[in-house]
Structure 1
């Protein structure tokens, strides 16, 4: 009996030794094994990941996010003024997003007039931009990334002149033709069925022409619902594609503006979409 126990003990020790030796041999042949398991991304790798993530749909979830920054918008003498203050009445610091500190989208109440500009800082929390607007109502969207503060893009209504002091209702009709030519360059929007709560790929066929890089991407797409309340700003899924992915949380009519740069000039292609249940 004692002899059997002794043999079993010796066998167990020999087996354990073989396992330890085998592991050490494997580790010596694969010196990066432990490093890979505990690898911490470098600053450059984090920057690359941020750049990849920036291509994803960037939507406004105003119903779920409390903004800690409140923009004020005014217009006078052909110039837009934006003033930024946080909840403590301090001036927030902004991060660069697609090469700019601020993307300012302004549309007329009938959604026919569209501007995407980048106001410059002129003072503490003050940004200004020259833009020619006609006498009617507008909705503005101040698209920024305040450092360390929550923020969601919300529509800000303002009026120009005395003609209109009320945001009119729109009667948009969905497009039946999805090929548009602007300044001689044709773009076709190709997409599957537009349904609520499903990821939708918006594929823009630029007809064998590669757009020039514009604000860190091959293009930009802005979408508003018919009331000008739901704001979506989406970027391409990759550096070499003019494909954008997003989704809609309610049915209805939406207007889309696709921006591409050809020959040093930015072309804006408007489309009206009908999203169904």
Structure 2
């Protein structure tokens, strides 16, 4: 009896030793496997952060989008179709009194439109507009419920035009004062520097804008390639002061929208952001 117990004990010790040796051999052949997995995850998270995109008052959002818009133009009408990552129709939240803010610019950044397309079916929105022959960039600015979303440029063409954004030759304005429909607005700021909070103070001469889409004004900014999109609102309900920042130096064009009576004036400015 004692002999069988001794044999069983020795067998258990030998088996345990084999397991320990086997684990050490596996670990030596696969060093830091768990650490490597964690490192990959961290790299992916860092990549997502580095590919941030400006949008609305929060300025920065992930480039990962769970909702994909499609934009097309035919017979004087723009059609926007929305589908989420599961190929379903996403539900939208109201943002500044509208479910959708739809920005269209011509490839030379000379033509600018801010639309609010009407719903025409499940996930389908339409906007009637007569656009001259050109290449355009469109930005679908929405807030889908329960999904991540990033505003990205989408190119579409009207007619046979095929003008590329990178061909633009924008020159920064020397004076930041514009008069549209008899109303003058001056952009006042200390400087335009990269990675610095920039205050855009719009002096509306001898007037006060009327509330427009839940604010006293709206500012949309694009880089000269029409790729980086920034949409900001005033810092307070009673001010025409905006705050934003720029990740990269370069030439940018901004459009400031202010409403006077029934008229919405759009004031374009070309700025240079320096290091």
TM range (shorter): 0.7 to 0.9
1:66 aligns with 2:43: no
- Contact residue 103 and residue 112 of structure 2 kept, 8 A: yes
Question: CA separation of 1:198/1:139 partners in 2, compared to 1, >3 Å: closer, same or farther?
Answer: same
Q: Provide, for residues 221-256 of structure 1, a one-character-per-residue CA deviation record: whole Å limited to 9, x for no partner.
A: 000000111000000000000000000010000000
Counterparts of 2:149 and 2:256, CA distance in 1: 24
**Structure 1 counterpart of 2:130, from 129, 132, 157:** 132
Alignment of 1:202-213 (within 5 A): 202-213=200-211
In the TM superposition, residue 177 of structure 1 has moved relative to its aligned partner by 1.1
- Contact residue 60 and residue 230 of structure 1 kept, 8 A: no
Q: Provide, for residues 191-216 of structure 1, a one-character-per-residue CA deviation record: whole Å limited to 9, x for no partner.
A: 01110000000000001311000000
Counterparts of 1:231 and 1:205, CA distance in 2: 24
Q: In the alignment, what sits opposite 1:52?
A: none
Q: In the alignment, what sits opposite 1:83?
A: 81
- Contact residue 60 and residue 231 of structure 1 kept, 8 A: no
- Contact residue 59 and residue 231 of structure 2 kept, 8 A: yes
- Contact residue 197 and residue 249 of structure 1 kept, 8 A: yes
1:244 aligns with 2:239: no
Q: Provide, for residues 164-184 of structure 1, a one-character-per-residue CA deviation record: whole Å limited to 9, x for no partner.
A: 265452100000011100000
Question: CA separation of 1:261/1:119 partners in 2, compared to 1, >3 Å: closer, same or farther?
Answer: same
Q: In the alignment, what sits opposite 1:148?
A: 146
Q: In the alignment, what sits opposite 2:185?
A: 187
Counterparts of 1:81 and 1:248, CA distance in 2: 31
TM-score (normalizing by structure 1): 0.77
Q: In the alignment, what sits opposite 2:194?
A: 196
- Contact residue 226 and residue 253 of structure 1 kept, 8 A: yes
- Contact residue 136 and residue 164 of structure 1 kept, 8 A: yes
In the TM superposition, residue 163 of structure 1 has moved relative to its aligned partner by 2.7
- Contact residue 79 and residue 131 of structure 1 kept, 8 A: yes
Tell me how large the CA RMSD over aligned residues is: 1.2
- Contact residue 121 and residue 127 of structure 1 kept, 8 A: yes
Question: CA separation of 1:273/1:166 partners in 2, compared to 1, >3 Å: closer, same or farther?
Answer: closer
Counterparts of 2:258 and 2:77, CA distance in 1: 25
Q: In the alignment, what sits opposite 2:225?
A: 227
- Contact residue 59 and residue 231 of structure 1 kept, 8 A: no
Q: In the alignment, what sits opposite 1:41?
A: none
Structure 1: unaligned runs, 5 residues or longer: 1-55
Q: In the alignment, what sits opposite 2:107?
A: 109
Q: In the alignment, what sits opposite 1:169?
A: 167
Question: CA separation of 1:60/1:228 partners in 2, compared to 1, >3 Å: closer, same or farther?
Answer: farther
- Contact residue 104 and residue 143 of structure 1 kept, 8 A: yes
- Contact residue 108 and residue 163 of structure 2 kept, 8 A: no
Describe the SS at the equivalent of 1:57: helix
Counterparts of 1:100 and 1:170, CA distance in 2: 32
1:217 aligns with 2:205: no
In the TM superposition, residue 267 of structure 1 has moved relative to its aligned partner by 0.1
TM-score (normalizing by structure 2): 0.78
4+ long deviations beyond 3 Å: 165-168
